[in-house]
Amino acid sequence: MLTDQHIEIIKSTIPLLENAGSALTSHFYQRLFTHNPELQDIFNMSNQKTGRQQVALFEAIAAYAKNIENLSALTTAVERIAQKHTSFNIQADHYAIVGHHLIETLRELATEAFTPDVEAAWTNAYQFLAGIFINREAELYQQRSAELGGWQGARAFKVIDTVIESALVKSFIFAPVDQQAVIDFTPGQYLGLEVQPTGNDYKEIRQYSLSDKPNGKSYRISVKREQQGVPGKVSNYLHDAIKVGDEVKLYAPAGDFFFIDRETPTVLISAGVGITPMQGMLETLAERKHNQSVHFLHACEDSTQHSFSQRTHELVSNNNWQQNIWYRNEDVQQSHVSKGMMDLTSVDLPTEKGNFYLCGPIAFMQFAKQQLLKLGVGESNIHYEVFGPHATL
């Protein structure tokens, strides 16, 4: 049980956490994978190499400590993490393992400051938070397995088609091996995909946005071949090795970023491969004959990297919607295409009543969000998705 005394102790350790910084979470992950290497089947080891996962975990721990008296402030973050956990098939017993290594990390790094009272406070605080996640994730697992076409855990799917969408993006269409129905999803959500690349000691699980409307029979994801920085182990494996007829394991659709029909104008803003959830939203809006205005805004390097360009133009034209495209490195003589960075001041947007959905690199979304705020868009009307470990814009 988390007592008032525990809460006061947790608050008193905030300076200790801030001084430790991401060194704390780096030590934690090193310890975790040394003692429990099997968890490398679950964690994204590419994010470990870039340091993004360590930073995300540190920010989550610090936020929990700072809001220990006001956990309602963390509701959105808890839901986002719980959704992501279900796409990794996280189970209750994983929390005990993680909790053990977290406490031992604090003991090893804090040394004299980690008194029995501090240990008791953090142990209880962790168990309290773990209970929240365990209960919410159990609800999500139960809900999805109970729905038509639903399931829990890994399910075998076969690749029934692949489509080259642009120079770096390829779509994969999956149908279940058991030939039964598949659960519907809300446009904007993602699938958890599990593969074991050739020569890899561990399985790899990644989340990819669903890039089409739900149909009850199959799923489509569209994957960018990651070549910058740390090459994408899974994305390159999918592009180079996975063919029609091959089998993969999928986890049920998840995610807290999705289109909600608020009966207001809708603005879809993306860059690069961030177009994938927007494409799913656009397909769905067209199928539903959405009766509000729709603006589709996209930025990418050039026309060779513009995924779904023909299909998007068709949907926008058929529904009398508005489309604006920016190519950073190419000048194309079309009325709706501009060269350079996305400039939202050049577009007539429904800034007062519209709902704005953002997806793309973090720097791009920060750039777009600041433009929207300057135009008078309310922050509560800006919704966004971050690929990989979460970050706040």
For residues 296-312, one letter each, b for 16 or more C-beta atoms within 10 angstroms of the residue's C-beta and e for the rest, the string is: bbbbbbebebbbbbeeb
Which H or E element spans position 86? helix 75-87
Distance CA 321, CA 323 (A): 7
Both tokens of 273, joined, read 């491969």
DSSP assignment of 88-155: TT--HHHHHHHHHHHHHHHHHHHGGG--HHHHHHHHHHHHHHHHHHHHHHHHHHHHHHHSTT--SS-E
Angle, CA 245 vertex, CA 241 and CA 247 arms, to 5°? 75
Which of 95, 126, 190, 219 is labelled catalytic?
95
Active site residue 108: no
Distance CA 24, CA 292 (A): 49
Active site residue 95: yes
Rg (CA), the chain: 22
Taking phi first (over 0 means left), then psi (-120 to 50 degrees means alpha), and beta for anything else, what does residue 124 get? alpha
Kindly report the number of other CB atoms within 10 A of residue 393's CB atom. Answer: 15
DSSP letter at 40? G
Distance CA 226, CA 236 (A): 7
Which of 64, 137, 165, 251 is labelled catalytic?
137
What torsion, rounded to 10 degrees, do the Cα atoms 246, 251, 256, 259 define? 50
Question: 298, 306 in Cβ contact below 8 A?
Answer: yes
Residue 321: what residue type? W
Classify strands 219-224 and 169-176 as parallel, antiparallel or unpaired.
Answer: antiparallel
Residues taking part in catalysis: 95, 137
